[in-house]
Amino acid sequence: MLDKINDIKKEIQNFSIENEEELEAFRLEFLSRNGKVQSMFGLMKDVPNEQKAEMGKSMNEVKNLAQQTFDDAKIAIQKNDKKEFGALDDITLPVEPTYSGSFHPLTQALNEIKQIFLRLGFSIADGPELEDDFHNFTALNFPPDHPARDMQDTFFVRKSDDKDVDDLVLRTHTSPVQIRLMKEQEPPVRSIMPGRVFRNEAVTAKSYFQFNQVEGLYVNEKVTMGELIETLVMFARLMYGSDVKYRVRPSYFPFTEPSMEMDVWWENEKGGQWLEILGAGMVDPNVFQSVGVDPEKYTGFAFGMGVDRIAMLRYGIDDIRLLYDNDIRFLQQFKS
C-alpha cells in the first residue's frame, strides 16, 4: 500500500505542466473525482485498522502535494501568459504613483498678473533679453557715465571703445521693451512687458542674478498721475484682495518724472510690515523725445514690478533661490 502511495507521489512530481492543456491533464489525472488521489483514498477500506492513521497521513500528504503542484503551476502559467501579452498582473493592485506636471509658481503668479492687466485693457509685449545700451539705458534717460547706471548692477556682454558701436548688456529691466514699442507704434500704447531680467547681484536668499519683471506702459493724450494711481490700486486690489492696505511714496527713476513707489501692508507673525511691490511714474519727456513721440501732445505712465517677490509673498517662499533650483520636491507643492 505504501508503495502505491509513493508511486502516485512520484508521478505527481514528474508530471510536466507547461501549459493550460497539461494543467488540465494533471487535474483529470490526479484531482478529479475519478482521479488517482480520490481512488487512493478508496483503498483505505482495505487498510487494517492499526495502520489507518499512518496511511491516512501519507495519503493526505500526497493529496496536498497534488493540490499545491496544481496551484503553483496554474499561477506560473498565468504569469507567463501575461508577460507574453503585456497584460497587468492584477488590475486591482494600486498603481505606481506618477506625478502630473504643474505650473511653476513664477508662471502661476505671472499668469495672474497678466489676467489682471488684460482685464484692464493692456496687451502683452515682448522683447530680447540681450539688449544694447541704447534701449536699456540711453533712451531711458540714463545719461552716459551717469551714476544712475550704478542703480542696476549690469552684466556687460560687450564693452565697446568705439563710439559708433554700442555696448551689449543682459537687460537689467524690461523697460527697453517700452522703447521698442514706442518706436514701432503710434500712441495710444497700452501694454505690459513681462520677462526675465539680469543683475550682477550676490546670490542670497533675498537676491539672485536673474529675476522676472512685469512692466507696464500707457501713452495717450492727457494721461494723468491720477490714472496711474487708480490703475495700480486696482491691480493691488485684484492681486491681494479688495481689503488690501497700500500706500504710495515719492521716489526716483531716470525715466519717469515724477516717480513713485507703492507698498502693501503684509501681515506676519510679528504683526506686519510695509513691502514695496512696484516702482512707477509719469514717462519723462526725454524718453518720449528719444523715441520720437511728441511730449507736447502725449503723456504717459509706466510701472514695473518683480514677479518673484509677488510669488514669494503669495506662496510663503522665503528663499528666492528655490524658484530657480528646479527641485521637484519644491515644485510639486504648487499644483494649481
Residue found under cell 542674478: 209
| Residue carrying C-alpha cell 512520484 | 10
**Which of 302, 320, 323, 331 forms a contact with ligand PHE (CB under 6 A)?**
302
Assess contact for 70 and 27: CB atoms under 8 A. yes
Among 281, 290, 300, 312, binds ligand PHE (CB under 6 A): 281
Distance in Å, CB of 191 to ligand PHE, minimum: 12
What does the per-residue mask of binding to ligand PHE show for 35-54, with x meaning CB under 6 A?
--------------------
279 binds ligand PHE (CB under 6 A): yes
In the complex with ligand PHE, the residue whose CB is nearer, 105 or 300, is 300
What's the closest the beta carbon of residue 216 comes to ligand PHE, in angstroms? 8
> How many other C-beta atoms lie within 10 A of the C-beta of residue 117?
21
CB of 59 closer than 8 Å to CB of 47: no
Stretch near ligand PHE under the rule CB under 6 A, chosen from 7-15, 23-31, 277-285, 326-334:
277-285
Q: What does DSSP assign to residue 35?
A: S
Query: What is the DSSP secondary structure assignment for residue 148, as one 8-state letter?
Result: G
Beta bridge partners of 268: 271
Radius of gyration of the chain (CA): 40
Query: Rounded to an integer, what distance in angstroms lies between the CA atom of residue 302 and that of residue 236?
Result: 16
The count of residues interacting with ligand PHE (CB under 6 A) is 11
Which residue is closest to ligand PHE by CB?
304
Give, as one character, the DSSP assignment of residue 243: T
Out of 108, 175, 212, 299, the only residue in the binding site for ligand PHE (CB under 6 A) is: 175
Taking the C-alpha atoms of residue 132 and residue 124, their distance in angstroms, rounded to an integer, is 22
- Cα–Cα distance measured from residue 175 to residue 194, given in angstroms and rounded to the nearest whole number: 10
For 12-80, the DSSP string reads HHH----SHHHHHHHIIIIISTTSHHHHHHHGGGGS-HHHHHHHHHHHHHHHHHHHHHHHHHHHHHHHH
According to CB under 6 A, which one of 304, 311, 312, 331 is a site residue for ligand PHE? 304
Question: With binding defined as CB under 6 A, does residue 122 bind ligand PHE?
Answer: no
Stretch that binds ligand PHE, among 187-195, 231-239, 301-309, 317-325 (CB under 6 A): 301-309
Residue from the set 131, 132, 215, 308 that interacts with ligand PHE by CB under 6 A = 215
Query: Does the footprint of ligand PHE cover residue 219 (CB under 6 A)?
Result: no
CB of 222 to ligand PHE, least distance (A): 19
Amino acid letter at 304?
G
Q: Which residues bind ligand PHE (CB under 6 A)?
A: 173, 175, 215, 253, 256, 279-281, 302-304
